[in-house]
């Protein structure tokens, strides 16, 4: 509940004694909230900043439940020494809260420790919900065996969802007998609860594994005809298309496509790429192009473009429904031109649609690649690479890679190869982290870099600094491992000595033998505790866009450091006119890059990861990062449920109004203004 002190004080003056009692209670609630943030949280956060597990564990025994919960949340992202893990498990067990179990779920466990959890699961039903959370993320083959062997006890229990999700996730990586798998999936196939259904089938949905058992596949597909939930239908579509695409498509009812739920329509559009071109597919595409949602249109056009065997006369449908339809957005119409067999007649229109929005340049370049001669197109890219507009350079870097990847080997002459090689180094000359990040993988794959270029690469790297340019070092790590491993050892050792946890973790994953170094404490932005107390327990963050407003109810209690930073930026107007730079249909929409606008920038500070025990569900708003404790200003809004994100990122709040706006957002759409609303109740 939110309270406005001024309003409450005025009301206290004018209302009678009878009405003053509940108001005073409200004032006391507000005081308790403010006191928690201004007096209790600073001490807790001094240990969060240090990432000291032992000190944080003392706060898990605090008398205040909010402090206890936040201490456990802090431990989600705080390393625990291997020798202390058994004691840590004991503390989690006795706490038995979702925050404590989430903290354990992110820790690496030995086989013996997992065996301990297996025994506890069998012996203590009250612990099953929490233990299943851990097993779903850290479990082994035995974990899956324990769960399916006790399947009868899971059904209709209070821990069914957590256990179902654990089973669904573990089935992606571990063996399960055909008989047992059939038993589990036959039960799951007739569940009408979307939450439980998706938990059981999450592994099949996410892994894109085919169902070989025809009886089970039929049971799953039959559900599409009688189930009403679009969330369940979405899962059925992907599983069925992965298993028998042509048969599934022929059985697909096509009558209600234009009215489909956005997520279901996007799923259908994505799956159509698995089907050969035919008359019914053309009709399905027409209906998807008639859908009112631009992301559905965009996804569909991408699939149409990929169908190189499509009928030439289908261009007429794309032209009528999209390209010449002025009610469609410029981005969608550009995608329509890209989907045409012959885009040349619409070059002028593409130029017009792309003007004024630099985020559409990549589409214009894609169209030009198809109509311009090779030499002419490389010249166009060269002009953009020399541009003073860094966004133009960035998109030209992306287009250069697309061009080279698509070009047949027979056309990659020595002369052209030298031109492209020179363009690569021109891109690196910009010394821009975003441009470099995009260019390095292309360098690695192009085959245009020679052994004599190592010193030149070192010079480029010398122009970057940690922690601001961590992404540059992360992407160069893989390049150096693949191309200059022996020559790069000394360089990588010097980088690892900085003690940047996120960088060193990435380098180890890439195969580098990084020496363990003491974690160098980071300098985090100190929250303005007094301001947080004034902001209220659940302030609403409003994002105004041309497509409507998005209202996000924030939770400062669980993410005070992050929200305090965002508050300072919001009041400074830093989020105004900033674009959504990333849209992944049926996953997330991401914005808030107040520095570069392309996903590689942020404010002049970092805040600690404030991981949450909540599920990453539709409407949840999280904070992007390049690794633990690298968060800043960038946020993302979930289109859909994605449990693989649970416990990995900061959650700041949830959309309470405007999800229909989120569903319409595309790359380049901007937040016109961001501001706070403190709702009085």
Q: Which residues of 231-242 are buried (b: 16+ CB within 10 A; e: fewer)?
A: bbbbbbbbbbbb
Q: Which residues of 561-579 are buried (b: 16+ CB within 10 A; e: fewer)?
A: bbbbbbbbbbeeebbbebb
pLDDT (tens digit per residue) in 155-192: 999 999 999 999 999 999 999 999 999 999 999 999 99
Average pLDDT over residues 109-115: 97
Average the pLDDT over each of 117-131, 488-502, 652-666 and give the range with the smallest value.
Answer: 488-502
Q: Which domains, from first to last, does the chain contain? A: 5-50 (no CATH), 261-371 (no CATH), 529-677 (2.40.100.10)
pLDDT at 18: 36
- If phi > 0 it is left, if psi is from -120 to 50 it is alpha, else beta; for residue 558 that is alpha
pLDDT (tens digit per residue) in 279-294: 999 999 999 999 999 9
Asked whether the predicted pLDDT for residue 532 surpasses 50, the reply is: yes
Q: How far apart are CA 56 and CA 88, in angstroms?
A: 12
Asked whether the predicted pLDDT for residue 515 surpasses 80, the reply is: no
Q: Is the pTM of this model over 0.85?
A: yes
pLDDT (tens digit per residue) in 302-332: 999 999 999 989 999 999 999 999 999 999 9
Quick one: CA torsion of 485, 491, 494, 498, rounded to 10 degrees? -80
Token output for 565 = 């930073």
pLDDT (tens digit per residue) in 392-430: 999 999 999 999 999 999 999 999 999 999 999 999 999
Asked whether the predicted pLDDT for residue 599 surpasses 50, the reply is: yes
DSSP one-letter code for 345 = G
User: Which phi and psi angles does 620 have, rounded to 5°?
Assistant: -70, 140
Residues in Cβ contact with 339 at an 8 Å cutoff, skipping those fewer than 6 apart: 301, 302, 304, 305, 318, 322
For CA atoms 410, 411, 415, 416, give the dihedral sign.
negative
Q: How far apart are CA 191 and CA 482, in angstroms?
A: 48
Binning pLDDT at 50, 70 and 90, where does residue 2 land?
Answer: very low
Asked whether the predicted pLDDT for residue 46 surpasses 50, the reply is: yes
Average pLDDT over residues 483-512: 91
pLDDT (tens digit per residue) in 561-582: 999 999 999 999 999 999 999 9
Q: Tell me which residue has tokens 């994605």.
A: 642
More confident residue, 499 or 511: 511
Give the residues across from 541 on adjacent strands. 552, 676
């Amino acid at each position: 509940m939110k309270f406005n002190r001024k309003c409450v004080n005025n009301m206290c003056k004018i209302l009678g004694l009878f009405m003053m009692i509940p108001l005073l209670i409200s004032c006391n609630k507000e005081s308790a909230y403010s006191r928690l943030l201004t007096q209790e949280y600073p001490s807790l956060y001094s240990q969060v900043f240090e990432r000291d597990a032992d000190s944080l564990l003392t706060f898990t025994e605090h008398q205040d439940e909010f402090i206890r919960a936040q201490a456990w949340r802090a431990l989600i992202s705080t390393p625990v020494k291997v020798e202390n893990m058994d004691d840590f498990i004991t503390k989690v067990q006795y706490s038995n809260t979702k925050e404590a179990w989430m903290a354990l779920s992110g820790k690496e466990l030995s086989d013996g420790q997992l065996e301990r959890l297996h025994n506890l699961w069998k012996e203590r039903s009250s612990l099953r919900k929490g233990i299943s959370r851990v097993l779903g993320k850290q479990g082994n083959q035995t974990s899956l065996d324990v769960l399916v062997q006790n399947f009868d006890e899971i059904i209709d229990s209070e821990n069914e969802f957590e256990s179902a999700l654990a089973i669904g996730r573990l089935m992606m990586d571990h063996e399960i007998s055909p008989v047992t798998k059939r038993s589990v999936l036959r039960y799951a196939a007739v569940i009408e609860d979307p939450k439980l259904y998706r938990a059981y089938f999450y592994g099949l949905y996410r892994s894109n594994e085919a169902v070989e058992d025809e009886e089970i596949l039929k049971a799953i597909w039959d559900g599409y005809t009688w189930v009403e939930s679009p969330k369940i239908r979405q899962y059925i579509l992907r599983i069925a298309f992965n298993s028998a695409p042509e048969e599934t498509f022929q059985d697909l009812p096509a009558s209600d496509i234009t009215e489909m739920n956005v997520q279901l329509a996007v799923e259908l559009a994505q799956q159509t790429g698995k089907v050969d071109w035919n008359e019914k597919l053309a009709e399905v595409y027409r209906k998807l192009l008639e859908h009112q949602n631009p992301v559905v249109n965009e996804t569909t056009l991408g699939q149409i473009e990929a169908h190189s065997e499509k009928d030439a006369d289908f261009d007429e449908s794309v032209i009528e429904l999209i390209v010449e339809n002025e009610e469609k957005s410029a981005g969608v119409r550009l995608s329509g031109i890209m989907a045409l067999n012959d885009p040349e007649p619409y070059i002028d229109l593409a130029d017009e649609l792309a003007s004024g929005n630099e985020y559409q340049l990549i589409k214009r370049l894609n169209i030009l690649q198809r109509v311009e001669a090779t030499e002419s197109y490389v010249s166009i890219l060269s002009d953009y690479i020399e541009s003073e507009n860094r966004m133009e350079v960035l998109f030209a870097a992306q287009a250069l890679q697309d061009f080279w990847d698509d070009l047949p080997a027979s056309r990659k002459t020595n002369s052209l190869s030298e031109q492209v090689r020179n363009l690569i180094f021109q891109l690196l000359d910009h010394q821009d982290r975003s441009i470099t990040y995009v260019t390095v993988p292309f360098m690695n794959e192009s085959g245009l870099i020679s052994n004599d270029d190592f010193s030149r690469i070192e010079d480029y790297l010398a122009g970057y600094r940690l922690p601001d340019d961590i992404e540059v070092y992360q992407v160069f790590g893989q390049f150096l491992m693949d191309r200059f491993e022996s020559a790069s050892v000394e360089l990588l050792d010097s980088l690892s000595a900085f003690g940047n946890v996120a960088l060193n973790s990435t380098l180890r994953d890439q195969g580098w033998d990084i020496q363990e170094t003491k974690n160098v404490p980071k300098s985090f932005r100190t929250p303005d505790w007094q301001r947080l107390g004034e902001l209220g327990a659940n302030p609403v963050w409003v994002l105004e866009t041309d497509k409507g407003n998005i209202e996000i109810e924030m939770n400062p209690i669980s993410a005070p450091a992050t929200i305090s930073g965002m508050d300072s930026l919001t009041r400074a107007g830093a989020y105004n006119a900033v674009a959504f730079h990333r849209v992944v249909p049926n996953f997330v929409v991401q914005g808030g890059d107040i520095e570069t606008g392309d996903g590689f920038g942020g404010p002049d500070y970092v805040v600690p990861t404030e991981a949450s025990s909540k599920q990453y569900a539709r409407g949840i708003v999280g904070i992007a990062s390049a690794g633990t404790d690298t968060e800043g200003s960038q946020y993302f809004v979930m289109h859909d449920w994605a449990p693989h994100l649970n416990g990995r990122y900061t959650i700041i709040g949830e959309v309470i109004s405007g999800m229909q706006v989120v569903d319409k957002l595309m790359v380049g759409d901007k937040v016109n203004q961001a501001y706070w609303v403190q709702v009085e109740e």
